[in-house]
Amino acid sequence: MPKNTHTAQTNTQTTTQTITQALTQTAVQPWAVWAIFMLIFMLGCWLRLDQFTQQILIDDEWHAIFRIEELSIRQLYRNFGYADHSIPMTIYYALLAKLTTVNETLMRLPGMIISIAFIGAAFIYLKTKSPVIALLTALFIACSPLLITYSRIARPYAFVIPFAWVALAAFTYYWEQAKSQRQIVMSICCYSLFAATAIWALPVIGPFVIAPFIYYATANLCRDKSQLLTHCWRLCNIGIPFSLLTLVLILPPLIGSFDLLSAKGGRDLPTLETYQQVVYVWLGNSHTLVTTGTLLLALIGLPATLTQFPIVRSALLGALLILLSIYLSKPAWVFNELTFGRYLMAILPLLFLCASVGAYRTINFLARLRHSALNKLKKLNKKTPPNTHEKQRAKKKNILTQGITLPLIAIISVGLLNGQIYQHSILPAFKQPNNSNTASAYYYFSPNPERNLVQQTIQALPTLTLPQAIKNNPKYNGNLVLAPFYFRSDYWAGPRYEAALSQPVLPGFTNGLCNPDTVIGELSAHPKRNLHFDNFVQLSQENDWINKDIRLFIWQKPAMRPTRSHPVSFDACDALFDKFPALYEDKYVKIFDIVNQPELVNQMITASKVR
């Protein structure tokens, strides 16, 4: 072997060993690692569960409700539909309606449970490599504004990300570590189940979960061509069960919805501005310095992450394959950073892992610089060199100190970084008392207020001003009902009202009261399924007003109604409510006192011409 080649290999091995030692060496006791993790885990639970059961359904969450009202379970299985809905989630709602009831909390519960479990799963998986990196990554995941938002809405994002990464972990284990027959079978089953389910729930994740096939086929072919048949056999062992299960789940709806899905493609492409803004969406942060700093840490940590974590190589390839599929299919709205970010959202844990490694390596590098500078200073100041025993004792003390201090500094530093991300994110708004609209795109359409079109649309409405006699009266402290409602965030001003009144604002359905039971964007007064929402009021049902302890009823006049793409006439409602005395009225709203005049509800229902 040439001398230069041998030297290069030696240098590479030395670098790899240095990186490994920097990431794995720590004097922090296992009980301390678990104690810190439990604090991180509880923080993640609190950020996700605060006011969780109070949230209204909004935006694409309604697509599934409309589907289960129209279709049987068999029809749901065979149809993706033009409007976005996740087939397994919609089937879950349909089964809930058959077995018990459907409400907001039960719809969102699976995503919430999986999102919380992902914090623990990421920590346990990474802990075998590096306890410190495991803690830092768990902290990023626990505090991520985007992951917190997704955990609180009835959409597949909260569980597709963990499922995709579990699938990659299972494939990596199968190829790198599985030796016994039991380990091989378990890893094949795990990969097939999680990968196929992720694709079924959100087909755009497909390129990400099939990336390990391409990576390991290419890597092993380049490394050892003599084992080609063996590698092909191993790929078939895991590929055939996965392919069969995926075809069973995906083929029927693909055939049934091919025309509708084709209509969504060939429209848009990401722009340069999309790439600039998507990092803000992933981090859920509007501060340029914080976002740039986190991205820089991720870039610093990427080489070491690729070296130490085999799963990362498949994940990075998967992200590139998704990007390629975007340019080939040109899906609608992909120029928008939120839509583009969702297509590539599986990269988010990779971003957090790289940022964690980057933060720890940066702190380790600074500590070595400091140690080197102090040693040089000591050599200049000391006339007599220390003996061998003193050198060894000082070296052991330095290793022990760094083994404890550096991880703690890293955890504190990443904690402060996440604190800055939190401060400049939507999460402080989530923590406002009586906020039932955290699932609304009003908050998360874009972290940058100048690019948040939903927020701009709602804030362009007239400012709501109420007399102090209403705002300061303790009798009215409680639930308010606001109507009319429409399921899209850019047509629903609930966040504005809650911010102005500091009280829970429940949407009211006019279906069955002053409108026929066909108003688009509302739940039917007589749903076909067993649907009982806790955070909405059926205005046509007196018991619903009573059970939800409604204090005030706010009717928005035309000037306060955002323009709909599907115009609905509320002339009959305007005429009905004009018949009754209002506690307060201006050109924008009419407010009725329900707590002092409960008979008003019965009178409105009786006077309604709609049956």
Centroid of chain to Cα 402: 36
Give helix 87-99 / helix 104-127 axis angle, nearest 10°: 130
Amino acid letter for position 308:
Q
Amino acid (one-letter) located at 73: I
> What pLDDT sits at residue 1?
46
Structure tokens at 417: 């970084």
Between CA 588 and CA 497 the distance in angstroms is 13
Report the 10 Å Cβ neighbour count for 368. 13
Contact 436, 505 (CB under 8 A): yes
The CA-atom distances, in angstroms, between 466 and each of 96, 174, 345, 499, 581 are 41, 64, 42, 13, 17
Cβ-count burial 106-120 (b if 16+ within 10 Å, e if not) = bbbbbbbebbbebbb
| Paired sense of beta strands 505-509 and 537-538, if any | parallel
Nearest to 545 by CA among 522, 513, 569: 513
How would you class 387 by CB atoms within 10 Å of its CB: exposed for 0-12, middle for 13-18, buried for 19 or more? exposed
* Cα separation, 116 vs 121, whole angstroms: 9
> Distance (Å, rounded) from C-alpha 475 to C-alpha 445?
36
Q: Which residues pair with 508 in a beta bridge?
A: 537
Spans of the chain below 70 pLDDT: 1-28, 81-83, 225, 260-265, 381-404, 517, 563-567, 609-611
Q: Which two tokens stand for residue 94?
A: 């349909």
pLDDT at 407: 80
Give the strands of the sheet with 589-593, arranged side by side: 537-538, 505-509, 479-483, 550-556, 589-593, 584-585
Q: Which helix H or strand E contains 505, and what residues bound it?
A: strand 505-509
| pLDDT (0 to 100) of residue 393 | 52
Alpha carbon separation from 200 to 80, 91, 370, 459 (Å, rounded): 10, 12, 52, 38
Q: 257, 67 in Cβ contact below 8 A?
A: no
Q: How far is C-alpha 486 from the geometric centre of its chain's CA atoms?
A: 24
SS3 538: strand
Q: How far apart are CA 475 and CA 498, in angstroms?
A: 17
Nearest CA to 132 among 18, 44, 32, 14?
32
Please give the C-alpha separations between residue 308 and each of 22, 23, 129, 223, 300, in angstroms, as whole numbers.
11, 9, 8, 19, 14
CA distance 51 to 104: 12
Q: Count the residues in the chain.
A: 611
| The pTM of the whole model exceeds 0.75 | yes
Coil/strand/helix, residue 585 = strand
Centre a 10 Å sphere on the Cβ of residue 437 and count the other Cβ atoms it contains.
27
pLDDT value, residue 20? 52
Residue 475, token pair as written in the block:
């009798």
pLDDT attached to residue 143 = 96
